[in-house]
Amino acid sequence: MKKKIVLSILVGLLALLFIIPLFLTVSNSFMEPSQVQNQYENIFQNKGSEFSGLKFIPDWISLKQYYQVLILKTNFLKMFWNASFMVVPIILGQIIVSTFAAYAFAKLKFPFREQLFYLYILLMLMPFQVTVVPNYLIANYLGILDKFASIIFPGVFSVFGVFLLRQFMQKIPDAYLEAAKIDGANHFQIFFKIILPLSKNYIASLGVLLMIDYWNMVEQPLIFLKDVSMHPLSLYLAQVNKDEIGVAFAAATIYMIPVLLVYLYAENYFVEGIKNSGLKG
Partner 1 sequence: MKSKINKKERWIGFGFITPSLIGQLIFFFIPIMMTIYYAMINNPMSKEFVGFTNFITIWDNTIFIRAMKNTFIFTGISVSLIMVLSLGMAMLLNKPLFLRNIFRSCFMVPLIVPSASILMIWQVFFNFNGTLNNIVTSFGFDPIDWMNSAYARWIVVLFYVWKNIGYDMVLFLAALQNIPKEQYEAASIDGANKWQKFYHITLIHILPTFFFVFIISITNSFKIFREVYLLGGEYPYEDLYMLQHYINNLFNVLDYQKLSVSAIYMAIFIFMIVLLWRKVEKKLDF
Question: In the complex with partner 1, which residue's Cβ is closer, 9 or 72?
Answer: 9
Question: In the complex with partner 1, which residue's Cβ is closer, 67 or 124?
Answer: 124
Question: In the complex with partner 1, which residue's Cβ is closer, 64 or 251?
Answer: 251
Q: Would you tell me how many other CB atoms lie within 10 Å of the CB of residue 77? A: 15
Residue-by-residue DSSP string for 252-269: HHHHHHHHHHHHHHHHHH
Distance in angstroms (rounded) separating the CA atoms of residues 55 and 52: 9
Least distance in Å: CB of 5 to partner 1? Answer: 7
Question: In the complex with partner 1, which residue's Cβ is closer, 13 or 71?
Answer: 13
Least distance in Å: CB of 62 to partner 1? Answer: 18
Question: In the complex with partner 1, which residue's Cβ is closer, 28 or 62?
Answer: 28
Question: In the complex with partner 1, which residue's Cβ is closer, 67 or 270?
Answer: 270
DSSP helix/strand/coil, 250: helix
Least distance in Å: CB of 228 to partner 1? Answer: 14
DSSP helix/strand/coil, 58: coil
Q: 259: closest CA among 220, 218, 211?
A: 211
Least distance in Å: CB of 133 to partner 1? Answer: 4
Q: 22: closest CA among 275, 265, 267, 260?
A: 260
CA dist 85 to 233, 248, 249, 254, 256, Å?
Answer: 12, 21, 23, 16, 16
150 in Cβ contact with 144 (< 8 Å):
yes
